[in-house]
Structures are given as structure tokens and as C-alpha cells.
Structure 1
Amino acid sequence: MGAAQPVNFEALEAQARTLLAVFIAAGYEAVAPDIIQPAGVFLDVVGEALRGRTYVFTDLSGEELCLRPDLTVPTCRLYLQRHPHADREAFYSYNGPAFRFQPASADASHPREFRQAGIEAFGDKDASEADARTLVLMLRALQQAGLPGWRLRIGDVGLFDALLAAGDMPERWRRRLRHQFWRPDAFRAELKRLSSGPARSAASFPRALIDKLDPEDAAGAELLVTEYLDAGNVELIGVRSAAEIAEGLLAVAADAKAPPLKPDTAALIDAYVRTRVPAPQATTALRDLVGTGSERFAAALEAYDRRCMLLAESGVDIAAMEFSAEFGRSVGYYTGFVFEIVVDALGPTSPVGGGGRYDGLLKAVGAPRNVPAVGGAVHTERLLTVVRGGKR
């Protein structure tokens, strides 16, 4: 499909068997989640970058479905089918195809149909230990599969969340900055808007309606929006209800009345996301930047330190790892530690593997509560390309 070269499935399967053998030996049960998944589940949780690249279709019964764009969410759904109360530890491994739209100009490292071999761990009691174990197991499997060398880039969405929590700003602004965190350019544009003139966002909306909205009265706002639409003979078309439109306009109305983000808060956030240092230097750099006033940030730094210690004890050269504060990967469900495994032959836009912690994802797909979870996956076509020393 797309512009990718023909796939050598025999070589891919041999490679996948090598990876899975390492995962299974470490106690990760091999599973095979469904390829066709409910579209709504994916579109709600994967984030904007992946949502627009998901193949969605409607079956003959009218149900909206999709071809899975990754295997993490399907594995979460499989876990909940087995353990609906989400009260058991479970360790799964998998190998199979995933599907994402790619432009016709995409090279062989970005096919529309590709294969992932990976692991997911649910219900772990020690987050730092599980994070380190996941990355070490991924590296061990890649080494066993013949990958000659790699570079590691890590980040921590939990540190970013702790920084925002300590900042003096409305909660809706934290949600907006968190939402844009995955896209550096959009994030910086949003930070600039909030720190220079959040009221400007109201300029493109009907001033008479915005002035009437009370940010504390959601029910009244829905009524005002309905009356405004009726008066203008505007018919609701699409998936947004009057209540959802009112919710968005209430945020606009609140911004119209709000002062800009304080300069020191904006400067701190900007300096934080620009931090990029060798992993062992990150704690000192971030503590010097943020200070010791936030207990939540201090706790997140402590967890970061312990994770690095566990990685070093497992033989990982943490001095060669790069910590990038703005690195969050391209999907929206990560909540903590994130990592990518990069090789020079393919470059940073085509990582051979990656993953991270996603403690809120299981609840988003139906669990009764948040469940600690972490995982990682290998892009086996890319791995094969590097191992063979060229194009497949």
C-alpha cells in the first residue's frame, strides 16, 4: 500500500518470532487483538496527530469501525474483556499489522500498513520499576534481533503535568497546553496567545452572545446558544450539540474576561520545554529551573531519578540517553515516562521502537478506574531495514 516497497514477510515473521521469544521468556503472554476495532474508542483517545490518519469505515449495520492504527488500545480492550474489573496484573506481547494513512510521497520507512511487535503491562505496583523493565526488555529484544546500535530519547509527561499544576492559571488553560503538548509549534503558539492576549480569541465570535455568557452558568449558556441559533435560523449539522458548542463558547467568554498569563509563568513553561540534556543532568537542570516549591514536581523528579537508577543498574548507558522535556510522542494517551529508540540510518523521524506509560488509557476505554500501564512496540519493517543495512 502507498509508496512502500514490497514487504519480505518471511523475513519480517522471522524477526517478529525473535522479538516475541524474548518477550515470552520474560513472562509476557502472546495475544492477538482484533484488527478491526470500534472507531469511537480510538478517535477519543489517540490524539489529533493519529486521529486524522486512522482508516475509518461504516459496516452494513451502520457501526463505525476502524483498522487499528496501533496495538496498544486493542490490547487494552482485550485485557478488559478478560478482566472487566481491571483488578489483575497482566503482561501481554503481540505481533501484527497496524494501519495509518501516509501521503503518496512517504518513503519505505512509513508504509500505510506496517507491523508492530510489542509488550504491554497492566496493573503494575511499582511504576518506576515497570518503566525501566519495559525499556530494558525492548532493548534486549532489539539486540537479540540483530540491531547493531541505537540512540535513546526519553521524556516525562508527568513532569510537564506537575509543572502546569504548579503554575498560576485557570484549569482550562492547563488542559489547552496539555492538549497541544504533542505538537511543539502549536504549543508555542498557544503559550504566546495566553501570555499576550487570551481575549483576542473572542474577536471572531458574536460579541453580543459572548458578553451574555456567564462562565459559571453552563445550563444558561446552552439556552442562550440555542436561542441565538434559532434566531439566526442556524441548523445544527454534524456531531456537535448545542451543549458542546456552549461549553466551547464559555471558555471563550472566560478568556475574554481574563488577564494574560503572567510573564514569569509563561517564561518558566517556555524554558522547561526547551530543556534538552543528557539524562543524568536533567534532575539538576530542572531543579535549578523550577525550584523546590512544588511538592508534585519534586515527587515527579524523584521518580525520574529512581527510573534512571534502575536503568543504570540493568546495564543501560544512561549517559548516552537524551532527556527532551518537550518530547511526548505523537499519540495523546501517554501520562508519564516516554521513550524512543532511534538509529542513525533512519533518523529521528523514523524510530525503530518506542513506548511509555499510559495510566489513564484503560479507564478511557471502559475500565472502572485508572489502571497503571506501560508498554512499548517495535516497528518491524524499520528494524528489518536497519538489520539488513539498506532498503528491504
Structure 2
Amino acid sequence: MVAESAKAFEALEAQARALLDLFARAGYEPVAPAIIQPAGVFLDQVGEQVRSRTYVFTDLAGEELCLRPDLTVPVSRLYLERHPDAGAQARYCYNGPAFRFQPLGPSATHPREFRQAGIECFGAPDKESADVEVLLLAVEAVKSAGLREYWLRFGDIALFYALIDALQLPERWRLKLRHYFWRPPVFHALLARLAKGERPDSDGLAGALAEKLAGETQEAAEETVAAYLDRKGIPLAGNRSLREIATRLLDHAADLRAAPLPKEVATVIDYYLAVSAAPREATEKIAMIAKGAGLDIDPGLDAVLRRFDRLERDGIDLTRATFATEFGRKLEYYSGLVFQVEAAGLDENEPVAGGGRYDNLLAALGAPRDVPAVGSAIHTERLLAAVEKVSP
């Protein structure tokens, strides 16, 4: 058993060295960001699905920290340390561990500690070319490791945002639908409730407190919530800040008084999010839905089509690919293209590689402006298992 573990570790290390060599030859500088990161940075940016699986702890000085659940945010922070004005182009590559709680228990394809080898491209002004560059390099990387049978899954967050904007919804509905996009069951339940004009449950402590906050400013709401927690002796700890709690309660209060979402709008969104097909077929369906609803999302759709054209010219076989409008991966900092590489024997929730565009993340981390950014990470244990045809 010890010999087998040592052999597996050696194989994983050899694979990682080969991947980093490939990335370095492509112009990506190797970096090694810290494993321990400020918890607030991740809890604010990665989204609900990863937030709930992040290992958070408080050190002896009282600072809330976490074991990094991915490497994109740490590499982004490293970029800002080197370029505080966020005005430089940079390409970085890395290999190292990440950590996530596994609610169904750890397994070979879902370990608590796993390794990621990846690339991040910052500040490239030609977003389309950078998207294609990163995706092609991710595919080249898994192929160079020996993966032969694979499929590609694509999505595009920007196209969904274009649809929501074209529907001319009230701002709070747009923000709410954007926020829940990454959790399809919750999203569709919300959409159905909005269309029916159903009010959220106002019973219980949260509902009663939300009623009291109705019409208050953010600052006043935070004071009210702080006073309530103090009276009840409830400590402010864990994954939510006072500001976030107050914001959610204000949102809940607004929902209690909101007008229903027009049913035809909900129908268009449902039709759009049901599209999952080969890339060309999927874009044709999206164009038909938009035309039928009288919506102009041509700029976003044209960008998607140009990207597919370039990928095809560069050797990507789109007959082995799917474009799914509901696909957004699990990290909520994505803002445009998203993709993943899936291997035989592993399901959609066990990709060997994935990535996408995240133009808003750097500003959220403290950059003075939005920074064009796109990257990809390879789950090296899964890749090795797929190459060696090891059963999950």
C-alpha cells in the first residue's frame, strides 16, 4: 500500500512538472501564492456553493483566515501585490493544493485536499484572443498528459446578463436573478415565485426583523441588526458579515412588497436556460428565442459565435462539445466564457479541467478598475485517474 501511494505521488508530481513546463513555454510565469488566505476575500467572492465548503478558522490574533478553496483568487491577489495600479499585463501559472469540505464525504475524485495546476491571464486587452488562448492551452495540457477521450462543455455568463438586461427588468430583479444563476434549483424556484407574485415567508425571526427594516438605509439597517444581535447575545461569527446580513434582510423586506414578474418574461428566461446542445445548434436556438421575444442580444451572441469559429480553426472539434446556457460552474466571480473538460468515466460534476473569464474580480479585491482576466485550472488527481483509466 505504501509503495502504491509513493508511486501515485511520483506520477502526480511528474505530471505537474510537465504541465508547468508546458505553461512556462507558453509564456506563463510560475508563482506560488500563500495557502492560508484572508477568509473575507473568499467568502465575499467565490459564491454560496464554495463558501459553504471553505475551511475557515480564527488565529490567535483574532484574524479570520481560510485554507484556499481555489487558486484563482490567491493568484489575483498576488497580481495586485505586484501591480497595485492594475495597469500591467501578466501571465502566471501554478501548481499546488486547494481545500474544500466534501458534504458527501471525501472520495478519490472529491478529496478534501486536492491539487490544481493552472494558468491566469491578466490585463490582455483583446478578450476574445485571450479566451481562445487559455482554452487552447488547457486542452493542450490535458492532451499532453495523455488524455485522449474528452468532451468540452461551454457556457457564457455575459450572454445570460445580456438577456436579462434586454428584458428591461427592474434593477433589483436583475441583480437577484444574476445572484442566483449559479444555483439552478433555487433560481427556478425564485423565478416561479416571482412570476406568480408569491411573497416570501414573513414568519419567524428573519421575517419579523425584515419587516422592521423596510425602508431603512443600509447604514440604519446595519445599526438595527447590530442592536438586535447584541440584545439577543448572538455573536457575529462565521461566514457572514454584519453588512451582508443587513443587505439580505433589506432584500427580503423589498420582496415582501414587490410587484410580480410578468409571466412572459419568466417564460423567456425558462426557454433560454433550457438550451443545451452542440454549439452551433445551441446558438441557433438562442437566436430564435431572442427573435421571438423581440430582444436584441446580437452583440453577445456574435461574440460567442466568433469564439467558436476561432476554436474550430485552431483544431477544437466542436462535435465533441456542448453549449449549455445554464452552465456557469460553481464560482460566482465568472463574468463571461466558462468551460470545462470532461473525461470518460467521470461525470459533469467531476471535470478534469475548467475555467473562464472573470473581469470583475480584481476590482472586488481592491484594484482601482476592472481588469480583463481569464484562467483555467486542472484537477490533477482526476486527470491522472482519467489517463490511467483508474475507476473513480
Query: TM-score, with normalisation over the residues of structure 1?
Result: 0.90
Helix, strand or coil for the counterpart of 1:57?
Answer: strand
Alignment of 1:276-315 (within 5 A): 276-291=276-291, 293-295=294-296, 297-315=297-315
Q: CA deviation at 1:10?
A: 1.0
| Whole-Å separation in 1 of the counterparts to 2:369 and 2:30 | 25
| Whole-Å separation in 2 of the counterparts to 1:371 and 1:103 | 34
**Matching residue within 238, 245, 259 for 2:236:** 238
Q: CA deviation at 1:386?
A: 1.2
1:84 aligns with 2:61: no
Alpha-carbon distance change, 287 to 237 in structure 1, aligned in 2, over 3 angstroms:
same
| Whole-Å separation in 2 of the counterparts to 1:30 and 1:227 | 45
| Amino acid of the structure 2 residue aligned with 1:139 | V
Alpha-carbon distance change, 250 to 385 in structure 1, aligned in 2, over 3 angstroms:
closer
| Whole-Å separation in 1 of the counterparts to 2:117 and 2:80 | 20
| Amino acid of the structure 1 residue aligned with 2:342 | V
| Whole-Å separation in 1 of the counterparts to 2:183 and 2:322 | 19
Q: CA deviation at 1:229?
A: 4.8
Helix, strand or coil for the counterpart of 1:32?
Answer: coil
Output one character per residue of 1:248-281: Cα deviation in whole Å (capped at 9) or x when no partner.
Answer: 4443343333221101000011111111110112
| Whole-Å separation in 2 of the counterparts to 1:242 and 1:361 | 22
Alpha-carbon distance change, 62 to 244 in structure 1, aligned in 2, over 3 angstroms:
closer
Task: Please identify, of 198-207 and 156-165, the stretch whose mean Cα deviation from structure 2 is larger.
Answer: 198-207
Runs of 5+ unmatched residues, structure 1: none
Q: Which residue of 1 aligns with 2:62?
A: 62
Q: Which residue of 2 aligns with 1:155?
A: 155
Output one character per residue of 1:58-97: Cα deviation in whole Å (capped at 9) or x when no partner.
Answer: 2222211111111111100110111011000100111111
C-alpha RMSD of the superposition: 2.7
Count residues in correspondence: 385
Q: CA deviation at 1:41?
A: 0.6
Alignment of 1:33-48 (within 5 A): 33-48=33-48
| Whole-Å separation in 2 of the counterparts to 1:135 and 1:76 | 19
Q: CA deviation at 1:213?
A: 6.0
| Amino acid of the structure 2 residue aligned with 1:21 | D
Alignment of 1:116-155 (within 5 A): 116-155=116-155
Is the 8 Å Cα contact of residues 167 and 295 (structure 2) preserved in structure 1?
Answer: no
Q: Which residue of 1 aligns with 2:181?
A: 181
Q: CA deviation at 1:127?
A: 1.2
Q: CA deviation at 1:187?
A: 1.0
Q: Which residue of 2 aligns with 1:360?
A: 360
Is the 8 Å Cα contact of residues 218 and 247 (structure 2) preserved in structure 1?
Answer: no
Alpha-carbon distance change, 377 to 242 in structure 1, aligned in 2, over 3 angstroms:
closer
Output one character per residue of 1:93-121: Cα deviation in whole Å (capped at 9) or x when no partner.
Answer: 11111111124643211111111111000
Is the 8 Å Cα contact of residues 195 and 261 (structure 2) preserved in structure 1?
Answer: yes
Task: Please identify, of 258-267 and 235-244, the stretch whose mean Cα deviation from structure 2 is larger.
Answer: 235-244
Q: Which residue of 1 aligns with 2:217?
A: 218
| Whole-Å separation in 1 of the counterparts to 2:243 and 2:350 | 41
Q: CA deviation at 1:349?
A: 1.8
Output one character per residue of 1:135-182: Cα deviation in whole Å (capped at 9) or x when no partner.
Answer: 111111111111122000000011111111122432222222222211
Q: Which residue of 2 aligns with 1:112?
A: 112
Alpha-carbon distance change, 269 to 262 in structure 1, aligned in 2, over 3 angstroms:
same
Is the 8 Å Cα contact of residues 218 and 246 (structure 1) preserved in structure 2?
Answer: no
Output one character per residue of 1:317-342: Cα deviation in whole Å (capped at 9) or x when no partner.
Answer: 12321000000001111001000100
Alpha-carbon distance change, 244 to 81 in structure 1, aligned in 2, over 3 angstroms:
closer
Q: CA deviation at 1:227?
A: 12
Query: TM-score, with normalisation over the residues of structure 2?
Result: 0.90
Is the 8 Å Cα contact of residues 202 and 208 (structure 2) preserved in structure 1?
Answer: no
Q: CA deviation at 1:226?
A: 6.8
| Whole-Å separation in 2 of the counterparts to 1:220 and 1:77 | 29
| Whole-Å separation in 2 of the counterparts to 1:34 and 1:144 | 28
| Whole-Å separation in 1 of the counterparts to 2:352 and 2:151 | 10
Task: Please identify, of 350-359 and 243-252, the stretch whose mean Cα deviation from structure 2 is larger.
Answer: 243-252
Q: Which residue of 2 aligns with 1:350?
A: 350
Q: CA deviation at 1:244?
A: 5.7
Task: Please identify, of 43-52 and 171-180, the stretch whose mean Cα deviation from structure 2 is larger.
Answer: 171-180
Is the 8 Å Cα contact of residues 86 and 368 (structure 2) preserved in structure 1?
Answer: yes
Helix, strand or coil for the counterpart of 2:323?
Answer: strand
Helix, strand or coil for the counterpart of 2:199?
Answer: helix
| Whole-Å separation in 2 of the counterparts to 1:95 and 1:186 | 34
| Whole-Å separation in 2 of the counterparts to 1:135 and 1:282 | 20
| Whole-Å separation in 1 of the counterparts to 2:352 and 2:173 | 34
| Whole-Å separation in 2 of the counterparts to 1:316 and 1:325 | 20
Helix, strand or coil for the counterpart of 1:155?
Answer: strand
Is the 8 Å Cα contact of residues 198 and 258 (structure 1) preserved in structure 2?
Answer: no
Is the 8 Å Cα contact of residues 202 and 255 (structure 1) preserved in structure 2?
Answer: no
| Amino acid of the structure 1 residue aligned with 2:163 | L
Q: CA deviation at 1:237?
A: 3.7
Q: Which residue of 2 aligns with 1:71?
A: 71
| Whole-Å separation in 1 of the counterparts to 2:323 and 2:43 | 29
| Whole-Å separation in 1 of the counterparts to 2:62 and 2:191 | 41
Helix, strand or coil for the counterpart of 1:199?
Answer: coil
Is the 8 Å Cα contact of residues 222 and 242 (structure 1) preserved in structure 2?
Answer: no
